[in-house]
């Protein structure tokens, strides 16, 4: 077989393989889209055929996948009631126009009385006091009022100006008292005391002058008795150069004591208070129970085979191959003739 015949045969055999290789050049591609849906099973339609890179692509399959699930929120009216602390009678209660609780602002709707409570039970504090006097005349001259303190049921000290109510005779009492005496001319036979010349009795000074001593001191002797008169200290010289000596007289006084009584009371009234209930309304954001789904659709496409173009290309190749074959055959025949000649 000559070389030209072999080439013609190879060209003819290559034609089908070239056509097949061109026809099998198809591929796939994937398009991804995301969309929101109210239902998890909601599937969004995708294009059945798309054009890209000069080619037509036909949908092969779609895979759906939920990539996000968000709750749908809604506004819900919420009512809150708030109780006040007890408000004492006489005081005004003014609740806040708005309050914030857990990030929600509530507006005041109404205020109403809910209950009455006792803040303090009523009670009476009694006061009593007195002043003692050692004479009836003094008791008669006692003040008509006196401020007296007392401890109430809560342990608190309170006071009140009380009125004089009565005078009580407490009976006879013996009071002990002392009188200081100064004797002048102690070294003389006759002593000078209170304008009197008194015999110098060094063991019992002013003996016989006891009543004079009581009258000069108390203005009377009634009820008074001189128990003793004793020297007190040693003799001394006064500024005039006279020798003096002091003495002390012990006196017993028989007297009646009188007690002036004062009484009073303070009435503590019961203290009441009111508990108020206030109603507030606000809007709270809560989950509705529904969800919004973010869904991812992965659409896989297959490139479409263009049969017309393949057929045309095949025809062209066949024609070229046929023409080439004829040309080769012609050349072979021509060569054979030349060789025979």
Q: Which residue has the higher pLDDT, 262 or 175?
A: 262
Query: Per-residue pLDDT for 47 more than 80?
Result: yes
Query: Per-residue pLDDT for 294 more than 60?
Result: yes
| Model confidence, pTM | 0.43
Residue 322 is predicted with a pLDDT of 67
Query: Per-residue pLDDT for 81 more than 70?
Result: yes
Query: Per-residue pLDDT for 137 more than 60?
Result: yes
Q: Which residue has the higher pLDDT, 251 or 340?
A: 251
Out of 48-57, 60-69, 290-299, 332-341, pick the least confident: 332-341
Query: Per-residue pLDDT for 240 more than 50?
Result: yes
Burial class (CB in 10 A: 0-12, 13-18, 19+), 111: middle
Which DSSP symbol is given to 109? E
Average pLDDT, the chain: 85
Residue 323 is predicted with a pLDDT of 66
Residue 23 is predicted with a pLDDT of 41
Q: For the segment 166-219, what is each residue's pLDDT rounded down to a tens digit?
A: 999 998 888 899 999 998 888 888 888 888 888 888 788 888 888 999 998 888
Q: 3-class secondary structure for the chain?
A: CCHHHHHHHHHHHHHHHHHHHHHCCCCEEEEEEEEEECCCCCCCCCCCEEEECCEEEEEEEEEEEEEEEEEEEEEEEEEEEEECCCEECCCCCCCCCEEEECCEEEEEEEEEEEEEEEEECCEEEEEEEEEEECCHHHHHCCCCEEEEEEECCCCCEEEEEEEEEEEEEEEEEEEEEEEEEEEECCCCCEEEECCEEEECCCCCCCCCCHHHHHHHHHCCCCCEEEEEEEEEEEEEECCCCCEEEEEEEEEEEEEEEEEEEEEEEEEECCEEEEEEEEEEEEEEEEEEEEEEEEEEEEEEEEECCCHHHHHHHHHHHHHHHHHHHHHHHHHHHHHHHHHHC
Residue 200 is predicted with a pLDDT of 84
> What does the domain layout of the chain look like in residue ranges?
1-26+305-341, 124-264
304: confidence class by pLDDT, cuts 50, 70, 90:
confident
Query: Residue 335: left (phi > 0), alpha (psi -120 to 50), or beta?
Result: alpha
27: confidence class by pLDDT, cuts 50, 70, 90:
confident
Q: For the segment 170-179, what is each residue's pLDDT rounded down to a tens digit?
A: 988 888 999 9
Residue 314 is predicted with a pLDDT of 58
| Phi, psi (deg, nearest 5) at residue 122 | -75, 150
């Amino acid at each position: 077989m000559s070389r030209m015949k072999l080439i013609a045969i190879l060209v003819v055999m290559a034609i089908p393989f070239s056509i097949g290789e061109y026809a099998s050049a198809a591929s796939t591609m994937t398009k991804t889209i995301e969309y929101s849906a109210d239902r998890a099973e909601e599937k969004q339609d995708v294009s059945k055929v798309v054009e890209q890179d000069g080619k037509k692509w036909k949908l092969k399959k779609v895979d759906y996948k939920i990539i996000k699930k968000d709750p749908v929120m809604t506004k819900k009216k919420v009512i809150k009631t708030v109780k006040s602390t007890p408000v004492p009678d006489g005081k005004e209660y003014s609740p806040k126009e708005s309050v914030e609780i857990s990030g929600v602002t509530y507006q005041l709707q109404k205020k109403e009385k809910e209950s009455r409570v006792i803040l303090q039970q009523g009670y009476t504090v009694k006061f009593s006091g007195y002043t003692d006097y050692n004479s009836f005349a003094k008791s008669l001259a006692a003040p008509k009022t006196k401020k007296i303190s007392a401890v109430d049921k809560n342990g608190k000290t309170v006071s009140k100006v009380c009125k004089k109510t009565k005078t009580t005779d407490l009976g006879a009492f013996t009071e002990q008292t002392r009188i200081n005496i100064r004797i002048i001319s102690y070294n003389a036979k006759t002593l000078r005391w209170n304008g009197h010349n008194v015999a110098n009795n060094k063991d019992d000074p002013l003996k016989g002058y006891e009543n004079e001593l009581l009258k000069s001191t108390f203005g009377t002797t009634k009820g008074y008795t001189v128990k003793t008169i004793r020297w007190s200290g040693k003799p001394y010289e006064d500024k005039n150069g006279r020798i003096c000596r002091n003495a002390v007289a012990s006196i017993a006084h028989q007297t009646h004591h009188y007690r002036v009584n004062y009484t009073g009371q303070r009435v503590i009234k019961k203290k009441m208070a009111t508990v108020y209930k206030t109603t507030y309304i606000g809007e709270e954001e809560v989950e509705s129970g529904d969800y919004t789904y973010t869904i991812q659709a992965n659409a896989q496409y297959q490139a479409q085979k263009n049969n017309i173009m393949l057929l045309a290309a095949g025809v062209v190749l066949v024609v070229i191959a046929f023409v080439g074959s004829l040309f080769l055959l012609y050349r072979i025949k021509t060569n054979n003739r030349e060789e025979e000649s």
